[in-house]
Chain A
Amino acid sequence: MAELPKPREPATAVAPAQRTGGTGQGEHERIEWLFRESLRRRAIHPLMPLIQRHRSVQQP
Chain B
Amino acid sequence: MTADAVLERMRDLPALPQAVLELQAALGRDDVSFDRLADAISHDQALAAKTLRLANSSFYGLPGRVASIRDAIAVLGLRQVGMALTAAAVSGAFAGVQCPGFDMTAYWRHSVACGICTRLIGDELRLDGGAAFTAGLLHDIGRLALAARAPDALAEALAHRRRDDGLIWQSEREVLGIDHMEIGAKVAERWHFGHDIIDAIRLHHAPPADAGRPVADAVHVANAIVHALDVAGDADDMVPPVSAPVWNRLGLTAEQCARVFEGTEAALNEVCAALGVVGG
Q: 13 A-B residue contacts at CB 8 Å?
A: A10-B163, A11-B165, A15-B236, A18-B233, A18-B235, A37-B166, A45-B242, A46-B247, A47-B224, A47-B225, A50-B261, A51-B228, A54-B258
| Interface set, chain A 9-53, CB cutoff 8 A to B | 10-11, 15, 18-19, 30-31, 34-38, 41, 43, 45-48, 50-51, 53
Contact A45 B241 (CB under 8 A): yes
User: Chain B residues with Cβ under 8 A from A53's Cβ?
Assistant: 254, 258
B25 close to A (CB within 8 Å): no
Interface residues on A, range: 20 to 34
Q: How far is the CA of A49 from the CA of B137 in the complex (A)?
A: 26
Contact A38 B241 (CB under 8 A): yes
Q: How far is the CA of A6 from the CA of B164 in the complex (A)?
A: 9
What's the nearest-Cβ distance from chain B to residue A60, in Å?
Answer: 15
List the interface of chain B (C-beta within 8 A of A): 163-167, 170, 206, 224-225, 227-230, 233, 235-242, 244, 247, 254, 257-258, 261-262
Which one, B239, B242, B262, contacts A34 given CB within 8 A?
B239
Q: Which 7 A-B pairs have the closest CB atoms?
A: A11-B165, A1-B206, A15-B235, A51-B228, A54-B261, A10-B165, A47-B228
Contact A34 B241 (CB under 8 A): no
Contact A4 B238 (CB under 8 A): no
User: Chain B residues with Cβ under 8 A from A1's Cβ?
Assistant: 206
